[in-house]
Amino acid sequence: MKVLHVEAGRHLYGGAQQVLYLLEGLQRLGIENVLVCPTGSELAERAGPFGEVVVLPMRGDVDLGLIGRLRRLIRAHRPDIVHLHSRRGADVLGGVASRLAGVPCVLSRRVDNPESRLWVGLKYRLYAHVIAISEGIRDVLLGEGLAAQRVTCVRSAVDPQDWRQGCDRDAFLREFGLPDDAPVAGMIAQFIPRKGHRHLLAALPMVLERHPGLQVLLFGQGPLVAEVQAAVGEQGLDGHVHLAGFRSDLARWLGCLDMIVHPAEREGLGVSLLQAAAAGLPIIAARAGGMPEVIEDDRNGLLVAPRDVMALAEAIDRLLDDGALRAEMGRRGRARIDAHFSPDAMVAGNLAVYRRVLGTESA
């Protein structure tokens, strides 16, 4: 079997990391991979050992020329199936290109953003099948009219060994300029509205009344960085909240945190939550999207209602008050990752969809 993958993202964030896991796993099973990605892609630099990499100009949703470029590429490589991995420009344009080239394609749906029933009825005709990375996303698609037999949940994965490096506490404190005895919470997310940074900032004054030593590291980048930084200053949180940027070495530091807080209003699944659980951290998150599939409330973390700032503050207080509870939730989180979110299971799930589309389930 030969699969042509299209990933339009330039950074090795959660979605692109899933593509890398998939390419490696498929190659190990004897599947031939061709990866198409944009100029300057970090994924292109990492994917070479697992298949042929083709770099194409990709300029987003309005780049209609991408249809022709992809169609010619598909015809030249003659894959059995095309797998579209990202939304930005690659989903609709890639679906049209695959249809024109006469090759079936599948789409990975990684976000739980709502779409109109009319748009779902038109757009999803382009795909032979849709792969939702969480049951939460699958439920959204079913609610918008997509037939159940056309969408399968294959959850994202994490290699737990990457996130179990332990903690060099002294190096951690030096790296981020933190006081020796401070409890440290982290948030790992793009700086975009739906991730809910503002909810965490709103909850912190209440938490700091009882835990004045708390330090918070915000990892990530995005268009709201300046706005969040300004809000930190306006709310008098400068000595407690630190914007740590995007860190390619996050695995080195994650085990040094006491907890992860993720008050996103919408989230397809949350690869950063998988990473945190693999590292043995308790997690506080909103009960939205696919997050409850990662976090079992009161077992490996705490779930609160989306946008409920008071409940968020109370959850942070509870974990800060109880080190034994944090440790036990961390152990349960590691076990949950090992049981349900392995790369091998993710690869097998995607391959099963390919075989279903191609009518080779017994192969």
Amino acid 67: pLDDT? 94
Over residues 167-212, the pLDDT tens digits come to: 999 999 999 999 998 999 999 999 999 999 999 999 999 999 999 9
Q: Could you give the dihedral angle defined by the CA atoms of residues 251, 256, 261 and 262, in that order, rounded to the nearest 10 degrees?
A: 0
- Asked if pLDDT for residue 233 goes beyond 90, the answer is yes
- Asked if pLDDT for residue 112 goes beyond 90, the answer is no
The C-alpha atoms of residue 279 and residue 288 are separated, in whole angstroms, by 22
- Asked if pLDDT for residue 89 goes beyond 70, the answer is no
- Asked if pLDDT for residue 297 goes beyond 90, the answer is yes
Amino acid 19: pLDDT? 94
Q: What is the mean pLDDT of residues 118-147?
A: 93
Q: What is the mean pLDDT of residues 296-303?
A: 97
Amino acid 103: pLDDT? 98
The C-alpha atoms of residue 224 and residue 183 are separated, in whole angstroms, by 26
In percent, how much of the chain has pLDDT > 70? Answer: 99
The C-alpha atoms of residue 37 and residue 5 are separated, in whole angstroms, by 8
CA angle 270, 57, 223 (to 5 degrees): 45
Amino acid 363: pLDDT? 55
- Rounded to a whole number of angstroms, the CA Rg of the chain reads 21
Amino acid 268: pLDDT? 87
Q: Could you give the dihedral angle defined by the CA atoms of residues 25, 27, 31 and 36, in that order, rounded to the nearest 10 degrees?
A: 90
Q: How many CB atoms lie within 10 A of CB 145?
A: 14
- Token pair listed for 359: 């009518």
**CA 256 from centre of chain:** 21
The C-alpha atoms of residue 35 and residue 228 are separated, in whole angstroms, by 36
What's the whole-number average pLDDT of the chain?
94
Over residues 127-141, the pLDDT tens digits come to: 999 999 999 999 999
Instruction: Give the SS3 label for residue 134.
Output: coil
Q: pTM for this structure?
A: 0.86
Q: Given CA atoms 308, 312, 318, 324 in this order, what sign does their dihedral have? A: positive
- Asked if pLDDT for residue 88 goes beyond 80, the answer is no
The C-alpha atoms of residue 150 and residue 353 are separated, in whole angstroms, by 10
- Asked if pLDDT for residue 308 goes beyond 70, the answer is yes
Contact (Cβ atoms closer than 8 angstroms) between residue 114 and residue 95: no
Domains of the chain by range and CATH? 2-157+342-358 (3.40.50.2000), 160-340 (3.40.50.2000)
Q: How many CB atoms lie within 10 A of CB 180?
A: 7
Over residues 259-275, the pLDDT tens digits come to: 999 999 999 888 899 99
Closest-CA residue to 181 (of 214, 208, 217)? 214
